[in-house]
Amino acid sequence: MNFDETDKKLLLFLQEDCKQTTKELSYKLGLSVTAVYERIKKLENLGVISKYVALLDRHKISRDFIVLCHIKLTQHKKEFVLQFEREVMNLQEVTECFHVSGDYDYILKIGVKDMEDYRNFMLTKLTALQHIASTHSSFMISEVKNTTAIVL
């Protein structure tokens, strides 16, 4: 998909703050309110903009203990992979799950309150999943970069 410079700027502005009004965006882009509205609708209809969300401050909701958990499955059978993926979707502590190549099969990003909360998650939820051969956990020391914005 090709985007002109105006579309690129519009997408960046929306990623920074999607609650901006079309009037505010039209002022920033030097376009009419109608033109901005039509561009946004076009980008939504094309699926470029897939949804609008509220990003929460992890610290204020006590989910600031971040763990990257590497998972190795017992086998790479299709049914094991699909079952694991279905089950991990139901774990509310898991905010991201990536099927990866290399020494491990999956990397989970997990947000919990503290180490004790993570231990409880491991013992009651993660280890209850079938077909997990091993796990390796890394704990976030500090956050260097965290963005949801994609620059075109």
**Phi, psi for 113 (deg, rounded to 5):** -75, -45
On the question of pLDDT at 1 being above 90, the answer is no
What's the CA gap between 5 and 94, in Å, rounded? 36
C-beta of residue 16 within 8 angstroms of C-beta of residue 151: no
Q: Which pLDDT tens digit goes with each residue over 8-19? A: 999 999 999 999
Adjacent-strand bridge partners of 69? 108, 137
The residue ranges of DSSP E strands in the chain, in sequence order, are 65-73, 94-99, 106-112, 132-139
Q: Which pLDDT tens digit goes with each residue over 128-148? A: 999 999 999 999 999 999 999
pLDDT for 126: 96
What's the CA gap between 55 and 66, in Å, rounded? 16
pLDDT for 108: 98
- Rg (C-alpha) for the chain, rounded Å, is 20
Split at pLDDT 50, 70, 90, the class of 30 is: very high
CA dihedral 122, 72, 74, 128 (to 10 degrees): 10
Quick one: three-class SS letters along 55-96? CCCCCCCCCCEEEEEEEEECCCCHHHHHHHHHHHCCCCCEEE
Total-model pTM? 0.89
What is the average pLDDT across 15-30?
97
Q: Which pLDDT tens digit goes with each residue over 43-102? A: 999 999 999 999 999 999 999 999 999 999 999 999 999 999 999 999 999 999 999 999
What is the average pLDDT across 15-31?
97
